Amino acid sequence: MAEGLEVALTDLQSSWNNVRHHTEEISSNRLLVRRGQAFNITLYFRNRAFQPGLDNIIFVTETGPLPDLPKGTRAVFSLAGHRGPSPWIASLQTIGASSLEVSLCAPPVAAVGRYLLKVHIRSLQGPVTAYQLGEFILLFNPWCPEDAVYLESEPQRQEYVMNDYGFIYQGNKNWIRPCPWNYGQFEENIIDICLELLDKSLNFQIDPATDCALRGSPVYISRVVCAMINSNDDSGVLNGNWGENYSDGTNPAEWMGSVAILKQWHATGCQPVRYGQCWVFAAVTCTVMRCLGIPTRVITNFNSGHDTDGNLIIDEYYDNTGRILENKKKDSVWNFHVWNECWMARNDLPPGFGGWQVLDATPQETSNGLYCCGPASVRAIKEGEVDLNYDTAFAFSMVNADCMAWLVFGGKEQKLHQDTNTVGNFISTKSIQSDERDDITENYKYEEGSLQERQVFLKALQKLKAGRFPGSLRAESQPRSVPLSDSPRSLATPSLQPSDVVQVSLKFQLLDSPNMGQDIRFVLLALNMSPQLKDLRVNLSAQSLLHDGSPLLPFWQDTAFITLSPEEAKTYPCKITYSQYSQYLSTDKLIRISALGEEKNSPEKILVNKIITLAYPSIVINVLGAAIVNQPLSIQVVFSNPLSEQVEDCVLTVEGSGLFRRQQRVLIGVLKPHHRASLTLETIPFKSGQRQIQANLRSNKFKDIKGYRNVYINFGL
């Protein structure tokens, strides 16, 4: 009589499987596979060969603390040729003298996460023996057509899943600059931290069995991750701070990568890391989503609306000197705002709304009681379908709200003008397999001023007025009723600007690039478009802005008296010296210059403003010699103090996935005025392919002088 089959050893073939499942960058000695795609394992037997008619092998997979067959977190499936009730598949590959190679495949809807693999062997007349074969991690699979995150284009999969560095666009709409970022989704322990993040969510804490069962849905996972990146409701990854005091943490502008943030969160027992702002929230979200296998990119929207009351109008208040006042309603236009797009099917929505979805982890408004936003279909935003889940109304307002400017004078408010074009400009992301910027504004809105764009705006406004719906704006804030006849985008002619009435145009023009440490030179251009003489009084002011649009006190004011003959143009020169602005600047380096003009004997007023972002010289990074895996490499970093004053407490930080195993920090100390310095770092690259080095220099006077260098690491011999 044949004795029972005994398993002596299991080979999960981690290295071979991981290459085929595009996870070899994470590890070669742990099994990480993607759902909907087969992976092979080999069982080695102690006593005899496997006999197909005699031995019945049953596999068991389990995930989560309470594995359950009906919930799909436990699966039992046989090696027998026929398909059983389980959607998991096991098939015979080869039978050796004392081994058996088997192919296993998780269904393309299986929950992602950490799995335990077991086997039960029943031989004819022998006892059932059970073995624990090992652990594996199951991820989403954008290469599998049946997976909800399937992405057809291989270059897109390489960019949005596999690329571990990128650029986040910052600055303002007239001066867009790329900020290099190390996503590092395949760095050591990051996958474990991502899974820990899922287990720290409120959903898991309240009902772990249901939470694990829902982890097959990218819509569900994206909402969980989104809520966990900020710490407003839970022990999330980042604390937000939009003030000016970061003394008990890291200034958001100093970060260059997600790895240091995620590792700090893990190392401190999941204490929120201080501090983040929108681009940091979005960058860390991108790391986690790419690590889990969901195609993700980082999006910047310039002049981004934050409409707190759902009427699609953002009110801005000015005094008679032209300075912007703190907003009573907390509506604001952010200089830029950064969110994510994640690629997935949306079977919970009507057909046609799958594809890119907005996910915004910056804590702005609550959604179903939690601080998260999305996933909101980009197509739904473009079509004004603001009642579709999730948070589409809020996302719509970020790219479409109108701006209303008010003059506050003598206790009264006078409407200056309504602008339909300000919000939602130059919506940007990194191009596929290139360092160029991709403008994707047309994905979000029809052309400004077109009939289609106005029709979509009216449709969205009517849906908002018709009532609140789940996952729109804050449930407790009711939208103010806006009569459609007053809407700036009613299908009639758009409302007139005051300059059309006064027939005078004012405009600011910079005379040279505004660089940190140098004077800012600009002119005010005044043009009389009428056949009458015009006597103008213009109040000018400058004030610093925080990144979220909050104004600081004015530090420069001037008054110009300009007389214009019919159809005459004049320029009024202005200069703000470094000594005038240096101590008033926030780390966002934003200055808003404003002019409020009024004509003698006319009640009409003209407001014009311009946002200036002050630039730093970049750090220069030079790679000395050939870059080869496991061979020493010298990297030269050249940096300078751009100011005409001494700076202290200088720290240079350098990182790069595949090049440095941890962030490099070099204490520089003091840098004299305009002093240029360089240092050379030694490292041993441990991953091949296209990589990026990121560097940041901070001091007591500035926080974020940055630089980057792309480098190709050869595999060597």
∠ CA 193-262-440, rounded to 5°: 105
Q: Which residue has the tokens 């990589």?
A: 691
**453 known member of a binding site:** yes
CB environment 569-603: b (16+ within 10 A), e (fewer): ebebebebebeebeeebbbbbbbbbbbbbbbeeee
**425 known member of a binding site:** no
Angle between helices 392-400 and 451-466 (to 10 degrees): 140
How far does Cα 193 stand from its chain's mean position?
Answer: 18
Residue 400 per-residue DSSP state: H
Catalytic one of 212, 226, 278, 574: 278
d(CA 39, CA 106): 9
Phi/psi of residue 373, each to 5°?
-140, 120
Contact criterion met (CB below 8 Å) for 298 and 429:
yes
Residue 227 per-residue DSSP state: H
> Which residues make Cβ contacts (< 8 Å) with residue 350, sequence separation at least 6?
388
Contact criterion met (CB below 8 Å) for 644 and 518:
no
Structure tokens at 239: 């604390």
> Which residues make Cβ contacts (< 8 Å) with residue 207, sequence separation at least 6?
none
Residue 369 identity: G
Is 278 tagged catalytic? yes
Structure tokens at 604: 């009409």
Residue 152 CB neighbour total at 10 angstroms: 9
∠ CA 194-197-200, rounded to 5°: 160
Structure tokens at 256: 């260059």
**400 known member of a binding site:** yes
Taking CA atoms, 162 is separated from 23, 131, 512, 629, in Å, by 9, 35, 40, 19
Catalytic one of 21, 306, 337, 417: 337
Helices H, strands E: what count in the chain? 14, 36
Phi/psi of residue 253, each to 5°?
-70, -20
Sign of the torsion angle spanned by Cα atoms 283, 285, 291, 297: negative
Is 337 tagged catalytic? yes
Among residues 524, 551, 529, the alpha carbon closest in space to that of 539 is found at 524
Alpha helix (H) ranges present in 478-559? 498-502
**341 known member of a binding site:** no
Is 360 tagged catalytic? yes
The length of the chain is 717
Which residues is 339 bridged to in the sheet? 299
Catalytic one of 307, 315, 360, 704: 360
Q: Which residue has the tokens 């804490």?
A: 205
d(CA 569, CA 526): 6
Q: What is the set of active-site residues? A: 278, 337, 360
Q: Which residues contribute to the annotated binding site for Ca(2+)? A: 400, 402, 448, 453
Q: Which residues contribute to the annotated binding site? A: 400, 402, 448, 453
